Each structure stands twice: as C-alpha cells, then as structure tokens.
Amino acid sequence: MSKNQAFDRRAFLKTAAAVAGVASLPNFAFAQGAKIRIGMMLPYTGTYAQLGVAITNGFKLAVAESGGKLGGREIEYFTVDDESDPSKATDNANKLVTRDKVDVLIGTVHSGVEMGIVKVVRESGTLHINPNAGAGAATGALCAPNIFRTSFTNWQPAYPMGKVLADRGIKKVVTLTWKYGAGEEAIEGFKEGFTKAGGTVVKELYLPFPSVEFQPLLTEIASIKPDAVFVFFAGGGGIKLIKDWKAAGLKGKIGLFGSGFLTDGILEALGDEAEGIETTLHYGDGIETPKNKTFRLNYAKTYKLQPDVYAVQGYDAGLLLAAGLKAVKGDMSKKKELYAAMENVKIDSPRGAWTMSKAHNPIQDIYLRKVVGKENKVTGVAHKALSDPARGCKMG
C-alpha cells in the first residue's frame, strides 16, 4: 500500500467523533423541525357538509393569522370526510390516529360520530379538539385530559331559552327534534330550564334522523295548540322545517323557538319564511366588538363567504391550539404543560371572551337572537357565563 492510502487513524477518529456527536443530539431537535400533523375529521359530504367546510375555514384562518405556524412549527394536514356517519366513526378516527399518526385530531360536527372519536382518543391519548359536536358525554361522563371543546354542549344553548319563554308568560310548550343524541340533549336542556322557571313541556315529538317528513307532527302540534314550540334542527332539516311550518299556516299562530342551530347558516336559502324566529346561541349577528368585526372582515375577504357560528368555533379551535403550543414552544411531548396551558386559556373569541371549564368545555355567554332580514340579530344576553353541568365528569 502506498503512503497516500494509508489508514489515517486520527482522521478516522475525528470523523467518527463528529458522527457520534451528531447522532446523539436529542431527538426532539428533529421533532422540533418536523411538521405538526393535524388531522381534520369533518363532514365534507351530506347534510352537514357546509358546517365541515366552515369549521375548516375558521381553523385555517386562525393558523394563518398566527403566521402559518403553531408553536414555531409548520403544519401538515390530514383530512378525512366522516360523512356524519356514526357507524364509520371509529374506523375514520383510527385512519388519522393509527395510520397517519396525527398529533392533534380536530373534529367533528355530528355528535354520534364524536362518540367514536372520543373512544379512539381516550385509548390513544391523542390530543383532541372538538370544534362542534355537542354530545354532553365528551366533556361529561367521558371527559379526559386530552379532550377539549371550543363549541358548546347540546344542553348549553337550549337551557337559557327555557327561562326566556317562561319570563314571557309562556306556560305550555311542545318540543320537536330528531331522535338522536344532539336533539335529545338539547330538548333536555330546554326542558330543565323551562320547568325550573315554572313552565310545562306538554309533549315531546321526535322523528328519526335524518327524516324530514314533518307533516303528521305539524298536524299534531296544531291540534295540541301549545303556547310555543321549541325545536332543535340544523342544516337542511332546519330549512325544511321552517318552510313546512309556514306552508302549514302555523307561522304567526304558534311561536316557533329553537336552539340557534335552527337558523344558523341557512338564512340565505330561505326567503322571509324565517322572519321573526327567536333562538338562543353562543354567537349571533351584530356583536359589535372589534374582535368580531375584524374576524368577519378577514373571513369574508379570505373565503368570499360570510362566517357563521361554525366558522367561529373552528377559529377558536385554532386559537386554542396556538395558545397551547406557544406555551410549550411546539414540544408536544410536554403533555402536562400543554394541557394545563389549554385549560387555563382565555380565548379572545369573535363571540366574546370565554374560558375553559374543568371538564374542558367553554364557559360562555348565551345570546338571544331574532331573525331580521338575512341575519340572526343579537337582541340580548339570555345567560351570562353559562357552564355546562358536566354531569358524570370526574376531572377537577
């Protein structure tokens, strides 16, 4: 062997030391540079598709306002269309958690689907932010440190309407909704508030989800002649009910009230059929705070659409995640600190500032709104800083 090819021990040792040094750098240095994997599990088809899109838009707007990064890290999105189908819920959630290994799961709209997600994330420990589904159990009996909600429980917006109606001297009410989790919980909330304030729910009417054959039930309501009717419907079902209500001649004869979802996001599709309908919700049109005005302007500019309560909830999910990741500087392995930051957050939301309850549900103001033209005009606050009772939750 010639001298040039001689094995230079020093050069070798130097290189080996350098390689060993690089290899032993703590792992999170790689993780820090790595993108945050965010799973979006929402309905992009079917009766709630519009809501899925609005939530996604709101979330991405919050991320964009935070510079496109959360906790200093870039984002990679993984999307699954859950079709609002509870039977496919666990499979879809597993697609994101097991196959795509997401760090956060954002979803969903339908309460039945949400229960599937809750089951999966309780086992996997994946951080889960719920930007809509109001199933009480998610922050109730099945609450968990890694589950957060930025929307409402089905009970929450319905409960204050009870006192509102009782205060107006309304004594007999008939309720009507789809027979599924969200509908039943909303009616329960209204019933609790209404009976507490001295009213009586004379009959509870249900139809199977997502049937919209209201005719026999409207006939029944007309024969009972209650003082008012309280309903829970959303999306296409809400449009149909309001139209059928008018076609059956009940508009103006019996008061129609609802949880705000009845009239949210659908006023464009209606003419004057919805005029005057009053609802309670944690958002409405005409909230004159600077935050809301800026939000609405930015949303309309970015998406050429008017935002609704679903967009606000998606936006707040983005704010919540941003706040949490900022506190841990993007290091998602620091779970305790991350969850603590998210629990103690005060969200400066377009709906008004709100805080997180011990069960990880918003403590927020519920507004009374009335349909005026194509808007749900806020006419007052039905209940200040209302917190869901979180029955069965063992946290905090």
Partner 1 sequence: MDANTFLIQVLNGIQYGLLLFLVASGLTLILGIMGIINLAHGTFYMVGAYLAFSLSQYFGSLWLAMAGGVVIAVAIGLALEWLLISRLYHRDHLYQVLLTYGLILIFEELRSVVFGDDVHGVAVPEALRASIPLTETLSYPVYRLWMSAVCLALAAGMYLLIQKTRLGMTIRAGSANREMVQSLGININLLYRLVFALGVALAAFAGMIAAPVASVFPGMGNQVLIVCFVVVVIGGIGSVKGAMLAAILIGLVDTFGSVLTFRIGGVQLLPELSGMMIYLLMAAVLLARPEGLFGRRG
Name every residue whose Cβ is closer than 8 Å to that of residue 222 and which is 6 or more positions away in sequence.
248, 250, 254
- Does position 272 bind partner 1 by CB under 8 A? no
Smaller CB separation from partner 1, 48 or 283: 48
Q: Is 206 in the site for partner 1 (CB under 8 A)?
A: yes
200 binds partner 1 (CB under 8 A): no
DSSP class of residue 35?
A: P
Contact 55, 38 (CB under 8 A): no
3 state SS of 228: strand
Binding span for partner 1 by CB under 8 A among 71-79, 135-143, 235-243, 373-381 = 235-243
CA distance 122 to 233: 29
Closest to 322 measured CA to CA, from 130, 127, 63: 63
Q: Judge residue 394's burial from the number of C-beta atoms within 10 Å of its C-beta, 0-12 exposed, 13-18 middle, 19 or more buried.
A: exposed
Candidate segments 16-24, 191-199, 207-215, 358-366, binder of partner 1 by CB under 8 A = 207-215
Which of 115, 164, 207, 332 touches partner 1 by CB under 8 A? 207
* Total interface residues for partner 1 by CB under 8 A: 35
- From candidates 253, 346, 384, 391, binder to partner 1 by CB under 8 A: 253
Spatial contact of 312 and 395, defined as CB atoms under 8 Å apart? no
The nearest distance, CB 331 to partner 1, in angstroms, is 39
Cα angle 321, 77, 142; round to 5: 50
* 47 forms part of the interface with partner 1 (CB under 8 A): yes
Three-state DSSP class for residue 275 = coil
Residue 235 interacts with partner 1 (CB under 8 A)? yes
**Binds partner 1 (CB under 8 A): choice among 215, 294, 302, 344:** 215
Nearer Cβ to partner 1 (15/45): 45
Q: Report residue 267 CA to chain centroid gap.
A: 20
Contact residues for partner 1, defined by CB under 8 A: 44-47, 49-50, 179, 205-208, 212-213, 215-220, 222-223, 225, 235-236, 239-240, 243-244, 247-250, 253-254, 269
